[in-house]
Amino acid sequence: MKLRLWPANEKSLRKMAKESKVLSMDKIGNWIIANFLIGMERAEKEAEAEVSKNRKSMIEQTNKDNLGIFEAIPGYQHYDGMWFGEDKHITYRPLAESIIDRFQPKSVLELGCGAGSLAWHMRDLYSKCKVVTIDGNPDTSRSPWVNPDFHFIARTDIPVSLQEDGVPMKFDMILSFEHFEHIQAEQFGVFFKNMKDHAESGAILFATAATWSYGAGNNVHCNVKSGQQWRQELTFMGMSDTGISLLTESNRPFNFLLKNTSELIFKF
């Protein structure tokens, strides 16, 4: 980091002394010292600003009692989500590109992230975006695609709260793919509140919900609805349907079957 002193060299100092009868050499010396001290103060402030810019912020989950739940218990999330190999991981990249191109979010919270592939690609493609992920399955922490500094284990159907440096976190985009159908109907209001509490005013919700039943006995897809029913419910909760559609056969991840899922892009 350079220190700037004005005048910048001896020649300019001599010119000032020649042009002004007021400046004695003592005064010029004092002026140089003063400028040096000003320069040092400026350098210190610039260094502090640089440290502040590069400082790793502290993101934490405040309700420590929400520890998630292993997916061996039916009715929550898809257990094999964390076992994505490279061949499946790469299928999330086109969707990440589509989201970034269309919305260019600065901050994203993904609920029910599974192995974290979508978040990984979003960070890789768009470093300006802060992406935080939550999943109820503790095993997801072992996924090679999650960032441990931005990944939290918590159920999304009971209260969850995130803070950054002691301040409640807000995001301009909430993602939740193939997750709505795993939330018990009686708990969906809590899940919705978790989304809303972390959403900036006007934030975008981009979600999909499977429309097919899965699992015997205690149904893993325990809250299956049609796309129209989900739209009605989100509208009733005060959200606005954007009318935007992004999912196509060319950008869908391997486990998104367009004929068996509802695409929901709403605004808080």
pLDDT digits 0-9 by tens, 2-21 = 444 444 455 555 555 555 54
Position of tokens 């699992």? 215
Fold of 59-267: Rossmann fold (3.40.50)
Tens-place pLDDT, residues 165-186 = 989 999 999 999 999 998 989 9
- What is the per-residue pLDDT for 2? 45
Per the confidence metrics, is the pTM higher than 0.85?
no
Tens-place pLDDT, residues 203-241 = 999 999 999 887 654 557 889 999 999 999 999 999 999
- What is the per-residue pLDDT for 6? 46
Domain ranges of the chain: 10-54, 59-267
- What is the per-residue pLDDT for 235? 98
The phi, psi pair for 253, rounded to 5°, reads -65, 165
Report helix angle 25-54 to 10-19, nearest 10. 140
Can you read off the two tokens belonging to residue 176? 């939740």
**Where does the pLDDT of residue 247 fall: very low under 50, low under 70, confident under 90, or very high at 90 and above?**
very high
Task: Give, in order, the Cα–Cα distances in Å from 115 to each of 87, 133, 135, 150, 226.
Answer: 13, 10, 9, 13, 26
- DSSP secondary structure letters along 152-168: EE--SSS---EEETTEE
Mean pLDDT of the residues in the chain: 82
With a cut of 90, say whether residue 93 has pLDDT above it. Answer: yes
